[in-house]
Amino acid sequence: MIKNRRELFSIHWTCASLAGLAFLAGCASTPSATPKNTGWIKDEVADSYVFGYPLVLMGVARDAAVGTGPGQAPFNTLRHAQALPPIGAANPPQPSIDTLDSTGWLDVGSEPVIVSLPDSHGRYIDARVLDMWTNVVWSTGSQFATNAKGIKAQTIAFVGPGWQGELPQGAKRVDVPTRNAWMSVRIQSNGARDLTAVRKLQRAIRVAPLSVYVGDSRSASIVPPRSSAADAALGAAGTPAAQVAALDASGFFNRLADALPDNPPTPADPHALKILADLGVTPGEPVKLPGAREAIAAGLADGHERIGTAPSNLLTGNGWSWFGDDVGNYGPDYALRAYAANVQPGIGTKDDEVRAVVTRDSDGQPLNGANRYVIHFASNQLPPVHGFWSITAYTKDGALGESAPARLAVGDRSGAHRNRDGSLDVVVSSTRAKNGNWLPAPRADLQLVLRLYAPKPQATDGSWQPPAVVRQ
């Protein structure tokens, strides 16, 4: 059965308690005295960790990506992937082999940043910009509802808080509530022989501060100074999520306090800031956490667990799980926002992409490439998309397994053939299948990811679900 219940947050205390400022439940009572026990500290640390996790994660990712070193790019510059991810690639987890990605960080603190996208001439392009809280402030997803053959040439002006002025003629203004934002442009690739055409489109994308765009090359975007907490995080190894997970409570909340002045929460979050203030976390100031070490450590551990636990308003069906209509614009749903940032960083809105994941077969057993599985799509249950869809097999850690590079994914643009009745079967196994559409899989425990590019509404409103993975 598909579940689509909305749960704004898990509250660990009641409105009647002395610490009844549970902002995530909208409780309004105010503590009249300092509690004698430290249970409130544990709860508030956990809730504040979930609340602040996306902002801290985005800050770590930005600091690792912005610069002039290998694998980095300055602000307001896109870094273009030149080839599809190789076998064994796992950073980011579950790398897509359907598109070549161009990514970069925008700085709209001193002036707008102008982005020009070319006419894709019928080729699928997914472009999106996320603010520092991982809300999608703009994307091309909704354009595919009326034009499934690609995007038209367009110019967008991303404008920071409080800026007033004149923009280039024809530029669409998009207000960004935070100083920095993350941009991703993914261009459909049809394999290695198609890369030249993709790179041509990449070169046609233009990103520049307003003054540079209109011809004053002397002006450039100001790079915000890094804090000591940011510098310390840069020395850590691993993905941004791994770096954040390695932070102790002091390191996490200092990064959060440093980031808040340039990236304030929405006006709907006053209770969150009050809870942070109770813990000694004030925007732009050194953090002064309470002396209850055990309660703080327990709260941090609880926060870690909660961001990795699927909220009840995640869509589920036949063993698969995926995000529904609320993804990308979270409002006060901090549980969903933190979980999405943790498991699918950079995820777009319901109009951009659906990424359904399954790790167990129809009998509840872990998927393993040593077995043979069939995914049977009935003729009226094929993935509903304006763009296209694909299924890819990964190791249980999200890496591309050792399998035939030319057939790492199966989908509606990879030559998948239907049965006589219009249905479609995908065979998943580490050994080549003679019948059906064979998806090579690692000979170990694995996960499958079904991607729907520019999905139709039924993919996210709960009226459609992927079929079960059946062991043969």
How do residues 338-377 score in pLDDT, each as one tens digit? Answer: 999 999 999 999 999 999 999 999 999 999 999 999 999 9
Q: Indicate whether 397 and 378 sit together in one domain.
A: yes
Structure tokens at 362: 């129809």
Amino acid 464 reads W
Which residues fall within 8 angstroms of residue 160, CB to CB, at 6 or more apart? 108, 109, 110, 111, 112, 176, 179
**Range 284-294 average pLDDT:** 94
Of 166, 194, 213, which residue sits at a domain end?
213
Please confirm whether the linkage preceding 92 is cis (ω < 30° from 0).
Answer: yes
Q: Indicate whether 209 and 83 sit together in one domain.
A: yes
Let me know the angle formed at the C-alpha of 189 by 183 and 190, rounded to the nearest 5 degrees: 170
Confidence of residue 168 (pLDDT cuts 50, 70, 90): very high
Confidence of residue 87 (pLDDT cuts 50, 70, 90): low
Question: Nearest CA to 184 among 264, 73, 259?
Answer: 73
Confidence of residue 16 (pLDDT cuts 50, 70, 90): very low
pTM: 0.86
Torsion sign, CA atoms 20, 21, 23, 28 = positive
Residue 33 lies in a domain: yes
% of the chain with per-residue pLDDT over 70: 85
CATH number at residue 368: 2.60.120.1600
What is the number of alpha carbons within 13 Å of residue 459 lying toward its C-beta? 26
- Host domain of residue 3: 1-66+223-344
Residue 71 lies in a domain: no
Q: Indicate whether 152 and 256 sit together in one domain.
A: no
Asked whether residue 337 carries a pLDDT value surpassing 70, the answer given is yes
Measured distance CA(241)–CA(57) in Å, rounded? 6
Asked whether residue 455 carries a pLDDT value surpassing 70, the answer given is yes
What is the per-residue pLDDT for 90?
62
- Return the residue matching tokens 């307003």: 210
Q: Indicate whether 365 and 330 sit together in one domain.
A: no
**Contact present, 281 and 259 (Cβ < 8 Å):** no
Q: Indicate whether 106 and 193 sit together in one domain.
A: yes
Look at 243-252, 275-284, 394-403 and tell me which has the smallest mean pLDDT.
394-403
Model confidence pLDDT, tens digit, residues 207-244: 999 999 998 554 333 333 444 344 444 444 588 999 99
Q: Indicate whether 87 and 184 sit together in one domain.
A: yes
Residues in the chain: 472
Phi then psi for residue 427, to 5 deg, are -100, 125
Residue 434 lies in a domain: yes
Model confidence pLDDT, tens digit, residues 296-334: 999 999 999 999 999 999 999 999 999 999 999 999 999
**Range 417-423 average pLDDT:** 94
Measured distance CA(97)–CA(179) in Å, rounded? 31
What is the per-residue pLDDT for 388?
92
Measured distance CA(109)–CA(7) in Å, rounded? 34
Q: Indicate whether 265 and 181 sit together in one domain.
A: no
Residue 74 lies in a domain: no
H-helix or E-strand containing 375? strand 373-377
Measured distance CA(455)–CA(141) in Å, rounded? 9
Measured distance CA(364)–CA(426) in Å, rounded? 19
Of 164, 185, 213, which residue sits at a domain end?
213
Let me know the angle formed at the C-alpha of 56 by 54 and 57, rounded to the nearest 5 degrees: 65
Top-confidence residue, 147 or 66: 66
**Range 274-287 average pLDDT:** 96
What is the per-residue pLDDT for 345?
93
Question: Nearest CA to 109 among 264, 266, 222, 220?
Answer: 222
Model confidence pLDDT, tens digit, residues 27-84: 333 444 444 478 899 999 999 999 999 999 999 999 999 999 888 999 999 999 888 7
Q: Indicate whether 11 and 120 sit together in one domain.
A: no
Question: Nearest CA to 410 among 377, 458, 457?
Answer: 377
Residue 308 lies in a domain: yes
What is the per-residue pLDDT for 147?
63
Please confirm whether the linkage preceding 112 is cis (ω < 30° from 0).
Answer: no
Q: Indicate whether 47 and 85 sit together in one domain.
A: no
Measured distance CA(140)–CA(439) in Å, rounded? 30
Number of structural domains in the chain? 3
Of 344, 377, 408, which residue sits at a domain end?
344
Model confidence pLDDT, tens digit, residues 103-132: 999 999 999 999 999 999 999 999 999 999
Asked whether residue 273 carries a pLDDT value surpassing 60, the answer given is yes
Beta-bridge mates of residue 191:
none
Report in angstroms the alpha-carbon separations of 369 from 88, 212, 443, 448.
15, 52, 4, 11
- Name the average pLDDT for the chain: 86
Residue 110 lies in a domain: yes
Amino acid 117 reads L
Amino acid 335 reads A
Torsion sign, CA atoms 86, 391, 327, 348 = positive
Top-confidence residue, 399 or 11: 399
What is the per-residue pLDDT for 404?
44
**Would strands 206-209 and 113-117 be described as parallel, antiparallel, or unpaired?**
antiparallel
Structure tokens at 145: 């509802």
Q: Indicate whether 33 and 146 sit together in one domain.
A: no
Residue 357 lies in a domain: yes
Residue 241 lies in a domain: yes
Q: Indicate whether 99 and 209 sit together in one domain.
A: yes
Per-residue DSSP letters for 172-195?
Answer: EEEE-SSSEEEEEEEEE--SGGGH
